[in-house]
């Protein structure tokens, strides 16, 4: 798979609503351990970072670091593996939100 969104849709789309409602840190297949998230970051990190930069700008943040400081799990920044984990979780929650928003819009049609 070339994009993280494709990976998410293939592996976690059925959990999108639960991820939005409870957070990905509750534990979902493929994003539970640091090693899983580090592997995903190594493959999709640039895409996730670019997404974060874009969203930080849209939110009026000075940079991604300012946006990250507002995350519920911003305490997870004591090592690179924790940072990678947090960023993968961030991307999962944002993609899950996009999916559920799209489903909500489709149900209104």
Q: Supply the pLDDT for residue 48.
A: 97
* Phi then psi dihedrals of residue 102, to 5 deg: -65, -40
Q: Supply the pLDDT for residue 1.
A: 63
* Contact indicator for 11, 30 with CB cutoff of 8 Å: yes
- Model pTM score: 0.90
* Phi then psi dihedrals of residue 90, to 5 deg: -55, -50
Sign of the torsion formed by the C-alpha atoms of 92, 8, 36 and 79 = negative
Q: Supply the pLDDT for residue 71.
A: 87
Segments of the chain scoring below 70 in pLDDT: 1, 105-109
Listed residue (38, 30, 37) closest to 10, CA to CA: 30
């Amino acid at each position: 798979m070339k994009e993280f969104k494709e990976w998410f849709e293939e592996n976690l789309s059925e959990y999108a609503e639960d991820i939005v409602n409870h957070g990905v840190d509750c534990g979902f297949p493929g994003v539970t351990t640091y090693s899983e998230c580090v592997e995903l970051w190594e493959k999709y990190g640039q895409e996730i970072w670019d997404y974060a930069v874009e969203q930080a700008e849209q939110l009026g943040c000075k940079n991604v670091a300012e946006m990250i400081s507002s995350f519920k799990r911003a305490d997870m920044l004591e090592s690179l593996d924790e940072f990678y984990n947090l960023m993968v979780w961030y991307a999962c929650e944002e993609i899950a939100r996009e999916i559920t928003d799209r489903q909500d819009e489709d149900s209104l049609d």
